[in-house]
Structure 1
């Protein structure tokens, strides 16, 4: 699952908070990429909304008011590392980064990559370069292995953008290419929609059972978010 929570400083937090808590409790996601979540000054928004039973890996960089991103897992986390995605002087300092966590699942190994590139309009070139940098490091980390790999987050780009086309194998960039399956597109053939949040899987080991918006009638977060149900491919 990926969801942009929207900081409590915005949009009537006291009304949004119970809606988000109840929604997350009903969904009970195993793996979550959360964006625009506050940590600091005695408050942990991610822990508050998710409740007990999650292991958290926070992106190290945050804004002055504590807004950043966090990866959450119901399973214990092994090695966790972070990729600095500052590819230019205008790439949304201080936030662009990707966190890679090894998740200790029974069907493992499984790697969860929480990708948080530049978000501002007009930074398409930065987002493309950040996607390539993240993908290169992930591929180098695996060195020919094929572990289960999930890529998720707010990519700041629609499906027809260069960065998303790169991730889904529709175009190469900077002399490099990868193929990740967009779970929404897999579950809804012919309906790519207009999205900026994605859950993707590195091709070959996981099947997409379903993909749907994270919220329904009540909009309590920055974006609708995406929830994907994944199955380990047999054989």
Structure 2
């Protein structure tokens, strides 16, 4: 049985140098050739959706789920790019207390797999909020497994490192592709990225591919190479992505 290649990337919305970053993201998708792509911080306006611009002409179906609305008609949310059509999908709000920016999870059925794409609350002091959110994700995973016997793949910016309580709790229930098949620390938000360096935050792994059912046979960082143009250096995003190959074949190496 062939592996399914999946990718997650926080595209940094309309952050710095979007016009220069867009072709870098598109070139990366062509080179990596993933079957499933989860994108976070995706903006959509009346003039169009960032995910549609990223996927234009590359053979992907685009599914979008808003998380929050800003400046009138503009929304920010999560998107899923798939080689085959999505059978059905919905957008579910994640638990957040009053005064905290809304968050959502995009849930889609693609073949025999339920794909969850999400972006958790980011503030350092909101670990308890993220713990509620990962419990919600675990409930969705259990529901998919129990009702339909479906594989589940989570493509997410979890905004917390693997050694935090909320991530340890979640990875006790879903397999972490990087732990299974990656090498090295796998930092996805790091000063090694010039855009992220400006935040003056420590390097850590906060972007994840998790699964229930399929297992990872390969995992590596993606979108790590900057391009210099017009005397400026641009990375595809302020995050590095994670790409991995998943298989449900028990005999696969």
TM-score by length of 2: 0.78
- Match in the other structure for 1:227: 243
Contact kept in structure 1, 2:114 and 2:144, CA below 8 Å: no
Q: Does structure 1 retain, via aligned residues, the 8 Å contact 2:26–2:54?
A: yes
Give the unaligned 5+ runs of structure 2.
Answer: 1-6, 188-203, 227-234
Q: Paired residues, what number?
A: 217
Q: Name the SS for the 1:123 alignment partner.
A: helix
For 2:183 and 2:170, how far apart are their aligned partners in 1?
17
Match of 2:221 in 1: 213
Which residue does 2:177 correspond to in 1?
183
Checking the alignment, whether the CA contact within 8 Å between 1:6 and 1:221 is kept in structure 2 is yes
Given candidates 114, 117, 140, the residue that maps to 1:137 is 140
Unaligned runs of 5+ in 1: 170-178
Q: CA RMSD in A?
A: 2.0
Match of 1:153 in 2: 156
Match of 1:172 in 2: none
Q: Kindly indicate whether the alpha-carbon contact (under 8 Å) linking 1:30 and 1:74 is maintained by their aligned counterparts in 2.
A: yes
Mapping for residues 156-167 of structure 1, pairs under 5 Å:
156-167=159-170
Structure 1 position 47 matched with structure 2 position 55:
no
1:97 alignment counterpart: 104
Distance 2:60 2:159 in 1: 26
Number of the residue aligned with 1:195: 205
Deviations 1:3-39 (A, max 9, x none): 011123x212222122112112211211111011121
Give the corresponding residue for 1:57: 63
Q: Is the 8 A contact 2:95 2:132 kept in 1?
A: no
Aligned partner of 1:22 among 27, 45, 48: 27
Q: Note the alpha carbon deviations across 1:72-131, whole angstroms, 9 max, x for none.
A: 2111111212221133214322xx111211102xxxx11111122212221110000111
Structure 1 residues 83 and 67 mapped into 2: Cα distance closer, same or farther (>3 Å)? closer
Distance 2:223 2:92 in 1: 30
Find the residue that maps to 1:81 and give its secondary structure.
strand
Question: 2: distance between equivalents of 1:46 and 1:79?
Answer: 18
The range that moved more, 156-165 or 60-69, is 60-69
Q: Which moved more, 1:60-69 or 1:150-159?
A: 60-69
Cα deviation, residue 161, structure 1? 1.3
1:176: which partner in 2? Answer: none
SS at match of 2:87: strand
Mean alpha-carbon deviation: is it higher for 112-121 or for 220-229?
Answer: 112-121
TM-score (norm 1): 0.84
Q: Secondary structure of 2:125's match? A: coil
Partner of 1:70: 79
Contact 2:158 2:206 in 1 (8 A): yes
More deviation in 192-201 or 125-134? 192-201
SS at match of 2:124: coil
